[in-house]
Structure 1
Amino acid sequence: MLQGRKFQFRPTLTIFVALALGILIWLGTWQVHRLEWKTDLITKVESRLDAAPIPFAEAIARADAGEDMEYTPVKIMGEPRSEVAPVFGSLDAKAGIYLFVPYETAAIGTVYVNLGFVPQQVEVPILPSMGMSEVTGLFRRAEVPTPPASWFSPKGKSVDGLWFVRDPMQFAGEAKIETVPYYMDQLSVPGREWPKGGTTRIEFNNRHLEYALTWYGLALTLVGVWLVFSLQPAKGDN
């Protein structure tokens, strides 16, 4: 196919191809980094879920020291307060809210606990039973949406009082109480239908290798197209 053809450099075509090639390679490399991050995340979650819960105060100290404590089983002994923060969300394709309730503890002050999901059509008591009780769950950092998702994410609260981001500092700021920048996802509670605990997402899609190969494949195809358009029949050929 290349016999009788001569390479002819095309500056304009080459510039546009180089720009597109750079973008495709960047996208492929980004997916490789995402693959490494997702693999580490899955390994971390699987290794932590069966561990015995540690005091929330210990988890905070380790997190503040730079250790990644996400999804670590934790526990507190505290009493629920009345400043409930409903966060808009869904579960199994059903719209509803996640109930965030501040618990007053002796060890670390106020800690927000995500008691779990309540469907839109279900009415439940706003607060769990008052009084001191032990709560166990998974240690979580405040939710911080990142681009491009953050470009389209609503901010603050809806007109009917639902929050859009799981951020205990925002909840506490409105309630005028002190809290820590971490919260707990409560585990499932036997005998309690709603709020439904144990709803932390612990299964993650991992198709980043497929995406990376797609971007790199497009980059290779683009180089092939550039070569085809740059090879012209030699003079004298018909």
Structure 2
Amino acid sequence: WPSVTEAADAYRHVRVAGRFRHESTTLVQAVTVLGGGFWVLTPLVADGFTVLVNRGFVPSDRRDPAGWRRPEGEVDVTGLLRLTEPGGAFLRSNATAEDRWYSRDVAAIASARGLSGIAPYFIDADASADDRLPVGGLTVVAFHNNHLVYALTWFTLAAMTLGAAIYVNVERQR
């Protein structure tokens, strides 16, 4: 695991086999293209280690696991390797004592759930052919590049400010 790095391994497509430990599932707050809700992180016990699997997204009003897919027995999981997100989200820290999670912090979740031999990453599972919750395959891989729009906006605002300053200065001199 020391050789796993963000530069070389983030978003690498991986496959792992094992058994889910559904009793240790953690819900992490999320906002996706489907709206607000939770990521469902379930430990998968593989051969010699445990890895957290982000099985997908559930809306806030469907957080009860009774209606979710719960694969039993040996399963194969394919998805994208993601590095831990320690500490929390923007302006929110994970509240482990209250079981409120805002980021996918592998070490903190493993500690809270009593997991050992945990991989220092998690896997975002691919979409399933089954249309039941949780909905996998929602990982954002390509982010919008709006830098030109931002630059034009700020240069336009700067030009408008300069124009307003010149106008006010000319009016003062009259």
Could you say whether these structures have the same fold, taking a TM-score greater than 0.5 normalized by the shorter chain as the test?
yes
Match of 1:171 among 97, 109, 129: 109
- Does 2:154 align with 1:215? yes
The structure whose Rg is larger is: 1
- Does 2:73 align with 1:131? yes
Match of 1:189 among 90, 111, 128: 128
Q: Quick one: distance in 2 between partners of 1:198 and 1:100?
A: 14
TM-score between both structures, scaled by the size of structure 2: 0.76
Aligned residues: CA RMSD = 3.3
Identify unmatched segments of 5+ residues in structure 2. none
In proportion to residue count, which structure has more helix?
Answer: 1
- Does 2:30 align with 1:89? yes
User: How many residue pairs end up in the alignment?
Assistant: 169
The alpha carbon displacement at 1:185 in A equals 0.5
Q: In the alignment, which residue of structure 1 is the partner of 2:140?
A: 201
5 Å-filtered alignment, 1:1-238, equals 61-63=3-5, 67-81=7-21, 82-92=23-33, 94-107=35-48, 109-122=49-62, 123-125=64-66, 128-143=70-85, 150=90, 153-157=91-95, 161-178=99-116, 179-223=118-162, 229=169
Which secondary structure does the structure 1 equivalent of 2:149 belong to? helix
Residues 87 and 94 in structure 2, CA contact (< 8 A), matched pair in contact too: no
Q: Tell me which of the two structures has the higher relative contact order, counting C-alpha pairs closer than 8 angstroms and 6 or more residues apart.
A: 1
Residues 36 and 60 in structure 2, CA contact (< 8 A), matched pair in contact too: yes
Change beyond 3 A, Cα 1:118–1:183: same
